[in-house]
């Protein structure tokens, strides 16, 4: 039986989406602007298809102008770049998202960097990364998963994390590094741990805030966690589990939820934690882009 508070990312995301929907209606009524989100998907990867479908459904429910460009798995790089350049110059589009991973013959860095920084609602462009690292986020886009994690942490602890120790497990450009930048900006003392960190359980045990983003099922255990810590599980791992007495494929995080729940103060589940927040933050970034493009406050 878990003693920790279960952080309900699904409920938080629904609340955020409702707010975005209201603000979108106001933007259209007062300024005649409808936020536009274009998603580019290349190939038939099943997980990517699900993610894109969820993003499109949420965008439409928010009242956005939603466009999807589906390209064959053998699409040529010049054709992908030409599509991105076309979307960059389309005033009806405020956010451009290229669904990752890409087929191996395509250069991911070249393609993500071709998106205009002002429409880079994933926050992957080097200009947006640089602004985040420098703490200059007024007109920058923060990657959606760390942004969603930060909102959940602030719900539990508050906006000022002065005096709090935070450990981010994982150093990816998509989650680990931007997460560390956001925590620093909120005055936390931050350690970025990874596969080569010595005595990883000991490092994590000193943290008031733990963000796990490594992709190893159930890696973080109760004896790694400081009593009362806030634990955010970014991991999504497909594993064989017992579901209703049968062995089935299911999702689990990087944190052993039941075990860690006996000591943590609050912990996110998988599924139903960080995932829904990521999509809501994508919508928030797109709305923000539409406002900035119109010269309005973000």
Looking at the annotation, which residues are catalytic? 55, 99, 122
Q: Which one-letter DSSP state was computed for residue 213?
A: -
Q: Give dist(CA 74, CA 91) in Å, integer.
A: 29
Q: Which one-letter DSSP state was computed for residue 118?
A: G
**Cα–Cα distances in Å, from 254 out to 169, 202, 214?**
10, 17, 7
Task: Count the residues in the chain.
Answer: 298
Cα angle 85, 103, 286 (rounded to 5 degrees) comes to 45
Rounded to whole angstroms, the maximal C-alpha distance in the chain is 57
H helices within the chain, ranges in order? 9-31, 46-61, 77-88, 108-114, 126-134, 144-157, 176-185, 200-204, 257-260, 274-293
Q: 68: buried, middle or exposed (CB in 10 Å: 19+, 13-18, 0-12)? A: middle
Both tokens of 114, joined, read: 């071709």
> Phi/psi class of residue 218: alpha, beta or left (left: φ > 0; alpha: ψ in -120 to 50)?
left
**Cα–Cα distances in Å, from 232 out to 47, 145, 201, 212, 264?**
22, 11, 16, 6, 11
Q: Which phi and psi angles does 256 have, rounded to 5°?
A: -75, 95
Instruction: Say whether the peptide bond before residue 101 is cis (omega within 30 degrees of 0).
Output: yes
């Amino acid at each position: 039986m878990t003693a920790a508070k279960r952080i309900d990312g699904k409920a938080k995301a629904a609340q955020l989406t409702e707010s975005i929907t209201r603000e979108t209606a106001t933007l259209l009524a007062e300024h005649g602007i409808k936020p536009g989100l274009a998603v580019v998907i290349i190939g038939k990867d099943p997980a990517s298809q699900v993610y894109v479908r969820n993003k499109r459904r949420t965008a439409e429910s928010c009242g956005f102008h939603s466009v999807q460009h589906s390209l064959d798995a053998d699409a040529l790089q010049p054709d992908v770049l030409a599509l991105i350049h076309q979307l960059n110059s389309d005033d009806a589009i405020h956010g451009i998202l290229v669904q990752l991973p890409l087929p191996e013959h395509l250069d991911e860095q070249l393609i993500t960097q071709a998106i205009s920084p002002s429409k880079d609602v994933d926050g992957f462009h080097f200009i947006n990364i640089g602004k985040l690292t420098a703490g200059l986020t007024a007109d920058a886009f923060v990657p959606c998963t760390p942004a969603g994690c930060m909102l959940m942490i602030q719900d539990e602890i508050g906006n000022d994390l002065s005096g709090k120790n935070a450990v981010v497990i994982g150093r990816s450009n998509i989650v680990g590094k931007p997460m560390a930048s956001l925590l620093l900006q909120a005055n936390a003392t931050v350690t970025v741990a990874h596969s080569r960190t010595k005595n990883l359980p000991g490092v994590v045990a000193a943290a008031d805030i733990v963000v796990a983003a490594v992709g190893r099922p159930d890696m973080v255990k109760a004896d790694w966690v400081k009593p009362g810590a806030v634990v955010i599980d970014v991991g999504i791992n497909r594993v064989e589990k017992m579901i209703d007495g049968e062995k089935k494929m299911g999702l689990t995080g990087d944190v052993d939820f039941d075990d860690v729940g006996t000591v943590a103060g609050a912990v996110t589940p998988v599924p139903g934690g960080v995932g829904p927040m990521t999509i809501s933050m994508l919508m928030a970034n797109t709305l923000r882009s539409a406002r900035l493009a119109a010269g309005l406050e973000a």
